[in-house]
Each structure stands twice: as structure tokens, then as C-alpha cells.
Amino acid sequence: MLLTEARRPARTTSDGSLVPLAEQDRSLWRPGLIEEGTGLVTGALASGPLGPYQLQAAIAAVHAEARGGGDTDWRQILALYDLLERVAPSPVVTLNRAVAVAMVNGPQAGLDALATLEGDGPMAGHHRLAGLRAHFHELAGQREAAVADYQLAAQRATSLPERRYLESRATRLAGHG
């Protein structure tokens, strides 16, 4: 919770628009909370059985320790998600793991990881699945597919800030066509 709170000031703009993790101004993050949170995570990992909360906190710590998006240790995050998927498998874990897969092995590998969720009832129609698929298409240079998936994700989003963000991504990409 400390690690999540430490990043809160950079998660939105002054008008409430969402700022993705990779684009956040990390100088706004609160180093005291990061230091305290990573210390607690380190202690928790060393003192007892490994459970989903420790793994989720460890993933947050790896993100928080990176000075910039390019400094993120995605291999470590993927290893932690691999463990989390064994300890507490869920569609959300699979979705989040796909991000690490894409960052380590490329956007097509991320799309392949997402394909396992396409038939998963509620997740198949979730805006986050379509949004992440759009992001991977964008990273792969597949602009038309990215625009279509961003638009689909925006239609499915229930949060106005998320909808606006997804619409802006679709509009930006469509404008480059």
C-alpha cells in the first residue's frame, strides 16, 4: 500500500487525466514511502511462506525502484509474475503478466499471452484486455489493429478517465494514418 501511495501524485494530471506508469513523472513519486515500502517487502519476502500479497508487493517494489520506465527490471517482474501465477492464478494475473512478457520478449509474445484470455467469460469482454491488446499492437507497429482495439476498449470502459485516455490513444494513432 505504501508503494502504491508513493506513486499516486504522478498517476493523474491536474485535470484528472490518467498517466500510464511508463509516462509518469517519477520525480513526483514519494521516495520516503518507497524506501519504507521496499524495506517492508524485503522483510516479508525473507520471513515466511511466499504468498500472493508478498509477490504483488515485490512487483510494485521493482516498479518503484526504477528511476525511469527504461530502467525497469522486466525480467525480474516476469519471474515474479510467473511465481504469482503458480501461487494464485487468475485472469487478472495472466493479464498483468502479459505486460511483462511483452516487455521481455516483444509485443507479439504479449499478444500470444493475452490470447489465453479471449475465451475467459468476463475477461473476454473487459476493456483492459482490449486496451492491452491495443497497446501491444501499437508497440508492434500495427496501427489499424491498435486503433480498433483502443476504440473497443473505450466503448467497454466504465470509468470516464479510462474512457477518455483510451479514446485519446485511438485518436492519436488514427491521426498518424
Query: What single string gives the DSSP state of each residue in 114-145?
Result: HHTTTTSHHHHT-HHHHHHHHHHHHHTT-HHH
Confidence at residue 120, expressed as pLDDT on a 0 to 100 scale? 78
Structural element, H or E, at residue 39:
helix 31-46
CA dist 93 and 157 (Å) reads 19
Q: Where are the domains of the chain?
A: 1-89, 91-177
Cα–Cα–Cα angle for 169, 81, 104, rounded to 5 degrees: 60
**Are residues 87 and 68 in contact, defined by beta-carbon separation less than 8 angstroms?**
no
CATH number of 91-177: 1.25.40
Which of 117, 148, 123, 121 is closest to 134 using CA atoms? Answer: 148
Residue-level pLDDT, tens digit, the chain, 177 residues: 999 999 999 999 999 899 999 899 999 999 999 999 999 999 998 987 889 999 999 999 999 999 888 899 999 999 999 999 999 999 999 999 999 999 999 999 999 999 999 887 889 999 999 999 999 999 999 999 999 999 999 999 999 999 999 999 999 999 865
| pLDDT value, residue 49 | 85
Position 134 scores a pLDDT of: 98
pTM score over 0.85: yes
- For the packed helices 127-139 and 91-105, what is the interaxial angle rounded to 10 degrees? 10
